[in-house]
Amino acid sequence: MVVSLPVFMKYVGSTIRAGTSGFSPVQLIISITVVAALAGSVMYLVFGFVHDAKYRQVDLDLKQIDEALQGYERNNYFKPPTEEQGLKALVDRPRADPQPERWRAYLKQPLIDPWGREYQYRQPAEKSSDDYDIFSLGEDGVASEDDIGNW
């Protein structure tokens, strides 16, 4: 069955007006502005979550390093690694004195902070109530008040 266009348009309930197809320039500008505002809002939220996730990752890493250091201390008569031995003592047996008496690997590999730098270790501690400080230099990568540590 073949239906002519005027009959079809009457059936659908619409009519075609000549010269009214498409958007006006004002409608296009408004549409683009609304879409850009929505995209900007979504980007702000996504990047905000990424920023927060980096700080949560530092907290989790510091807890993992702290647990590894506690294991090191328990196996070596409650002596933490020296500052010279550093956090590498948790991955590779230290060669510098004092040699750990009962060493094992406490981490598979050194942990890297979310900004791509190694975590810092200071023994004796300057800020923490523990025997040592473990910390990330944060976003700026320099020792300052914004460092994130076990204190």
Q: Is residue 14 part of a domain?
A: no
The structure tokens listed for 61 are: 């890493």
Amino acid symbol at 46: V
Output the DSSP codes for 78-107.
Answer: T-PPPTTTGGGGGTS---SSSPPSS---SS
Residue 87: DSSP 8-state: G
CA distance 111 to 118: 7
Q: Is residue 9 part of a domain?
A: no
Q: Is residue 16 part of a domain?
A: no
Q: Is residue 107 part of a domain?
A: yes
The structure tokens listed for 99 are: 């040699």
- Report the domain count for the chain: 1
CA distance 149 to 18: 70
Q: Is residue 8 part of a domain?
A: no
> What's the whole-model pTM score?
0.65
Q: Is the pLDDT reported for residue 12 higher than 70?
A: no
pLDDT score at 119: 94
Q: Is residue 19 part of a domain?
A: no
Q: Is residue 17 part of a domain?
A: no
Containing structural domain, residue 71: 24-149
Q: Do 94 and 81 form a contact (C-beta atoms < 8 A)? A: yes
Q: Is residue 32 part of a domain?
A: yes
How confident is residue 68, by pLDDT bands cut at 50, 70 and 90? very high
pLDDT score at 61: 94
The domain that holds 78 is classified in CATH as 3.30.700.10
pLDDT tens digits, 99-145: 888 888 889 999 999 999 999 999 888 888 888 999 998 888 888 88
More confident residue, 20 or 47: 47
Residue 23: DSSP 8-state: -
Distance of CA 47 to the CA centre of its chain: 10
The runs of H, that is alpha helices, within the chain are 5-12, 25-75
